[in-house]
Amino acid sequence: MMRKVCATLALVTMTSTAWAAFPDHPLTLIIPFPAGGPTDIVGRVAAAKAGTILGQPIVVENRAGASGTIGVGYVARSKPDGYTLGLATVSTHGTAPHLFPHLSYDPVGDFTPISNLAASPNILAINPNYPAKNLAEFVAHVRANSGKESYANAGACGVNDLGMIWFLQLIDSKMSSVAYRGSAPAINDTISGVVPVIFDNFPSTLPYVKSGMLRALAITGTARNPRLPDVPTFAEQGYQGYDVTSWYGVVAPAGLSDAVRDKLAQAFEQAMHDPDTQAKLENAGAFPVGNTPQEFARQIKAETQRWGEVIRKAGIKFQAN
């Protein structure tokens, strides 16, 4: 009897020590898009600060492809020990689940939501040599050349591809989608003029619009963005109800213990409420969020549902290039 009691006590002590010690070695944050894109920008800023708070570095690893679904699928299949985390986006958890024929994960059931880090608007931009100075001229040109031109985007059936498919339906026109592994390679081709139109997340496009390498025509959301106050919203140019917002949030595999989840969530929430982190993200064109696991879980469910409705209503089907 005595021996049995001792063994139980030893187990309890060991388990709570293991939790208290978390994390005792570096963590990995999988960014499912390439370096230099919006997911990467938000993820690296957050990882640096949250790592300092946790007392262990968070090493960022880019695993891009298939609109972020490859990297996020890898996270879903990782050990739920808190050391492998990933960034979910509106593409991986909102749009792709309704359109990808062979998705390797369930956006709700296969993850432990930790904290949504940030949100950002999207933007329609063109190479300065494209024959349009504003959205009205762009729409007229696309209509006159329906089916003949292409737009670049960060991944087939991701938010940027869908955002453009949706807009093209509103203006009753067609363009070909040229999907890349993420925003960074897509922007390169728009700047060089290979694919002169891009619908992109705001943070990756912002520096190129500022420098004049791209011309911005419209931004999503209800208000203009203070980083580019001269760029009108879609709504103020007649496209009310056309709402495409991107977001970037930390997830772990399903089955993570509540204690580890809460420790991670506290670190990321604190990181996102840090004035220095907030300034960095705002300068990059993102809005810091830093919500709780419960709020983020509700948000993922709502976004998965919302995009399902948009996709069904608009009759959008998977289109591979």
The binding site for ligand GLU (CB under 6 A) comprises 33-34, 37-40, 68, 89-91, 154, 158-160, 182-184, 201, 246
Residue nearest to ligand GLU (CB): 37
Instruction: Return the amino acid letter for 307.
Output: W
CA distances from 133 to 176, 190, 210, 218 (A): 21, 16, 16, 11
What is the token pair recorded at 267?
Answer: 């670190």
The nearer residue to ligand GLU, 54 or 125, going by C-beta atoms, is 125
Structural contact between residues 82 and 22, judged by C-beta atoms closer than 8 angstroms: yes
Q: Which residues, 6 or more positions from 225, have their beta carbon under 8 angstroms from its beta carbon?
A: 121, 202, 219, 231, 285
What value, to the nearest 5°, has the Cα angle with vertex 25 and ends 24 and 27?
120
Task: For ligand GLU, give the closer residue by CB, 54 or 316.
Answer: 316
* Residue positions counted in the chain: 321
In the bound state with ligand GLU, the residue whose beta carbon lies nearer, of 68 and 86, is 68
Cβ at position 20, least distance to ligand GLU in Å: 35
Q: Tokens 């989608």 sit at which residue?
A: 177
Q: Which residues are paired to 216 by β-bridges?
A: 125
Nearer to ligand GLU, 23 or 183 (CB): 183
3-state secondary structure of 150: strand
Q: CB 208 → ligand GLU: shortest distance, Å? A: 14
Given the structure tokens 């509540």, which residue do they identify? 258
Q: Could you tell me the smallest distance in angstroms from the CB atom of residue 14 to ligand GLU?
A: 41
In terms of CB distance, is 127 or 160 closer to ligand GLU?
Answer: 160
- In the complex, least distance from residue 11 CB atom to ligand GLU, rounded to whole angstroms: 43
User: Closest CB to ligand GLU among 54 and 310?
Assistant: 310
Q: Which is closer to ligand GLU, CB of 93 or CB of 215?
A: 93
- Residues 33 and 302: their CA atoms lie apart, in Å, by 23
Q: Which is nearer to ligand GLU, 40 or 303 (CB)?
A: 40
Report in angstroms how near the CB of residue 5 gets to ligand GLU at its nearest.
53
Burial 246-283 (b: 16+ CB within 10 A, else e): bbbbbbbbeebbeebbebbbbbbbbbbebeebbebbee
* DSSP secondary structure string for all residues of 233-251: BSGGGT-TT----EEEEEE
Shortest reach from residue 140's CB to ligand GLU, in Å:
27
Angle ∠(263,267,270) on CA atoms, nearest 5 = 135
Q: Closest distance between ligand GLU and the C-beta of residue 64, in Å?
A: 7
Q: Provide, rounded to whole angstroms, the least separation between the CB of residue 228 and ligand GLU.
A: 18
